[in-house]
Structures are given as C-alpha cells and as structure tokens.
Amino acid sequence: MPNQCVDAAVVASSFVMNVQAAVARETHPLDAAVVSIGKMDVGTRFNVIAENAILEGTVRTFTLENRDRIRAAVTRFAEHTAAMYGATVEIEYRHVTPPVSNEAESSALATSIVKSAFGEDAIVFDRPTTGAEDFSYYMEKAPGCFAFVGSANPETDSEWAHHHGRFNVDEAVLKQGAELYAQYAYHYLNQN
C-alpha cells in the first residue's frame, strides 16, 4: 500500500540528486565546491517500503563564505525535498575543518627551501585540492603553508592515492620530509 505511506528511499534519492544544484547553480563557476553523499542507510528489507533514511556526506570549499552558502543550500534542499514528499527531516550539520589557505610569504619560503635542498625539479605546482585537512586549525593561529611531500614509487608499490585500498608510503622519502620541516623551521626562525 505505497499510497498510504512516505517512501524514505524516494525522498533520500531525490535529495541526493537535487542537492547537486547547490554546487551547479548556487556556487560561482570559478569557486570550487563539492557536495558528496557518501553513505545512505535506507530501509530494513527489500520488500518493505523504507520508513527512515540516514544520509551522511561531506562538503568541501575553499572559502568560509562559500562553505556557509553551501550549508544554507543543503539545509534548504533537505527541508524542501522532505516537505515535497510529505516527510520530515532532521539535519545535523557540523563544520569539521575550515579551508586551508596558504599564506604567500610562507609558501615562498617553502618553495625556496625545496629548490635549494632538492633542486628545481622537486617543485610541482598543482591545482588546489578539496581534500579535508586539519592543518587549517594551525593556520588560524599563525601564518603558514601546507605542502605535499610526494612518495609515489612504482618499485615500492607506493603510487596509490590517499584513501585508496592499496595506499602505501615509500619510507625512503621520510628523510626528505624531515629535512624539509627542519630547514623550514630553521629559516623561518632566522628570517628578518
């Protein structure tokens, strides 16, 4: 008797599809934002209409303003989608980590140290990543920069990305990472 109930699977699925408009239509095209629903727990049996749904996800942005805008949109989409189907919704939305924004002088110092210690070829300027990083909490207290130390090496089966099932670190690279940290601290503390 599907006409006598609210199908939480339909409501949840509709929300997942519709909330993507928070990025596609409510975020400036040149401002990065990601809304990902990574987990849906819906229903109890294959032949029973789902009474409840629990969705979990993540939002990634490069600015606090965009983060707040996306939060408002996600909340609005959840409330309106539920209302559209005659359902109710409870929203628990936590800001976990702020965006990491490298400070220009700290980045320049790190770049010069890498070039001096490891050579020009050791520097790779890549596009920003929307990976979450708690280093941002340090940068709320003091200027700094976040850089990756690469360890991809097919010979040691360490060319896999973080969170990949085969992720591995080529431990031979750890000494370069330690040297970079030590030299950065030394130069930072001895600059004018």
Q: Between helices 64-84 and 8-18, what is the axis angle to 10°?
A: 150
pLDDT band at 116 (very low <50, low <70, confident <90, very high): very high
% of the chain exceeding 70 in pLDDT? 100
pLDDT band at 127 (very low <50, low <70, confident <90, very high): confident
Is the domain 104-189 a CATH 3.30.2000 member? no
DSSP per-residue string spanning 80-142: HHHHHTT-----------PPP---HHHHHHHHHHHHHHH-GGG-----------THHHHHTTS
Q: Is the pLDDT of residue 184 over 90?
A: yes
For 2-84, CATH number?
3.30.70.360
Q: Is the pLDDT of residue 18 over 80?
A: yes
Q: Where are the domains of the chain?
A: 2-84, 104-189
